[in-house]
Amino acid sequence: MEKIVEQGLLYDFYGELLTEHQKKIYEDVVYNDFSLTEIARENGISRQGVHDLVRRCNHILQGYEDKLHLVERFMHVKENVSRLQELSNDPNVTGEELLQEVRLLSHQILEEL
């Protein structure tokens, strides 16, 4: 997964567990694409301080994912739903094949939850 997309997903799932200050800085870097210098100037801290805070946030968010696996589960469910959509739009799939696949994929989705 591309790094910025991964950071965004991790933040979407676990961002509320960061402090307000961490969230503000992290959002400025990841979502607003501000430079470290701009963020440092705006917040009255050093550029290195911003860099360290972002690294610490990345580490914290990844730690939550390593323990909870919510993003990983979400991605698996998303893949299974995409597969269901592909099957339902495929005119070459018979009703019985579709039914078998729907049962299999729905079971996998329920296992992820």
Per-residue model confidence (pLDDT) at position 1: 58
Long-range (24+ apart) CB contacts under 8 A made by 108-111 are 108/76, 108/80, 109/77, 109/80, 109/81
Tell me the pTM. 0.81
Per-residue model confidence (pLDDT) at position 109: 83
Report pLDDT digits (tens) over 59-106: 999 999 999 999 999 999 999 888 888 888 888 877 888 888 888 888
Per-residue model confidence (pLDDT) at position 16: 97
Residues 10 and 70 sit within 8 Å (Cβ to Cβ): no
Per-residue model confidence (pLDDT) at position 71: 95
3-state secondary structure of 69: coil
Per-residue model confidence (pLDDT) at position 104: 86
Measured at the CA of 5, the angle between CA 3 and CA 10, to 5 degrees, comes to: 95
